[in-house]
């Protein structure tokens, strides 16, 4: 598979609390993780780094030929392990108390996507000229939107849109949402922190993803659009395209 990633501190923040990693393809599976830390300067970037490292470690032993159910269980257990690690470190060190992070992690095979997440970092699938959001934000604003208390337009500009109802590392236990979705050759998985989704609408994202440019150009274009729109948060974007990596001359 073809992959591309980019993270940027943005135009306002002095520290990048986002982290992202794409693991080398193994047994026909690509693993990608994004974490958006919170808790201020050091604590936020430590939380996201810890989460990435723990999930990476837990998923590195995924066996060849793992079934769909086994992949779903693996993601859930990996995120739960990361939650325990971040919570433990936050409890032991005063300067890290209260830190946490969002996380979105995907296991991509040529015919199936499995995505787990906590918080408001997102995964989208670009397929059949549509952009479908695979994750659901664990945020106050999303709950207000679902209950009909605010409109979509109000949600986009709500003063408390960054308030999370669920995060990794802030409690001893956490509920992980895990979804599955089929995809075919040519489809693109977009994973991002809210530094992209809060600044660039879905129509613009789809426009970029459907362009004839390379995957690297597309990931750069998405980040640049977020920066041009204000860049008031860290911006992180991961793209996975369902095409053979060899065809692009880049190992996925």
- For 159-192, the DSSP string reads TTTT-BS--BTSSS--PPEEEEEE--TT-EEEEE
Q: What is the CATH number of domain 2-245?
A: 3.60.40.10
Q: How far apart are CA 135 and CA 140, in angstroms?
A: 15
- In order of 11, 85, 103, the CA distances from 42 in angstroms are 19, 16, 18
CA of 107: how far to CAs of 80, 116, 149, 185, in Å?
16, 9, 35, 16
Q: How much of the chain exceeds pLDDT 90, in percent?
A: 82
| Structure tokens that stand for 8 in this block | 């940027």
> Which segments of the chain does DSSP mark as H helices, in order?
41-59, 68-92, 140-146, 152-156, 194-197, 202-209, 215-228
Over 80: is that where the pLDDT of 42 sits? no
Per-residue pLDDT for 249 more than 70?
A: no
pLDDT above 80 (res 40): no
Model confidence pLDDT, tens digit, residues 112-156? 999 999 999 999 999 999 999 999 999 898 888 888 898 887 887
pTM for the complete prediction? Answer: 0.93
Instruction: Look at residue 73 and give its three-state secondary structure.
Output: helix
Q: Return the bridge partners of 235, or none.
A: 8
Q: How many helices (H) and strands (E) does the chain have?
A: 7, 11
- Local structure of 247: helix, strand or coil: helix
Domain extents in the chain: 2-245
Mean confidence (pLDDT) of the chain? 93
């Amino acid at each position: 598979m073809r992959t591309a990633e980019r993270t940027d501190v943005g135009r306002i923040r002095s520290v990048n609390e986002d982290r992202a990693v794409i693991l080398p393809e193994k047994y026909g599976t690509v693993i990608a993780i994004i974490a958006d830390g919170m808790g201020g300067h050091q604590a936020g970037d430590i939380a996201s780094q810890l989460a990435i490292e723990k999930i990476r470690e837990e998923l590195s032993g995924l066996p060849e030929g793992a079934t769909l159910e086994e992949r779903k269980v693996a993601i859930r257990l990996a995120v739960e392990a990361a939650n325990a690690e971040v919570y433990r470190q936050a409890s032991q060190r005063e300067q890290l108390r209260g830190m946490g992070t969002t996380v979105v992690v995907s296991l991509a095979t040529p015919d199936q996507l499995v995505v787990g997440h906590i918080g408001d970092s997102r995964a989208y699938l670009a397929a059949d000229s549509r952009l479908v959001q695979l994750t659901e934000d664990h945020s106050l604003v999303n709950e207000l939107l679902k209950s009909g208390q605010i409109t979509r337009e109000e949600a986009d500009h709500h003063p408390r849109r960054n308030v999370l109802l669920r995060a990794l590392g802030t409690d001893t236990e956490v509920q992980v949402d895990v979804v599955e979705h089929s995809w075919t050759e040519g489809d693109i998985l977009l994973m991002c922190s809210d530094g992209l989704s809060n600044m660039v609408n879905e129509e613009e994202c789809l426009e970029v993803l459907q362009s004839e440019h390379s995957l690297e150009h597309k990931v750069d274009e998405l980040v640049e659009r977020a920066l041009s729109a204000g860049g008031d948060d860290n911006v992180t974007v991961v793209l996975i395209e369902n095409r053979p990596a060899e065809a692009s001359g880049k190992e996925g």
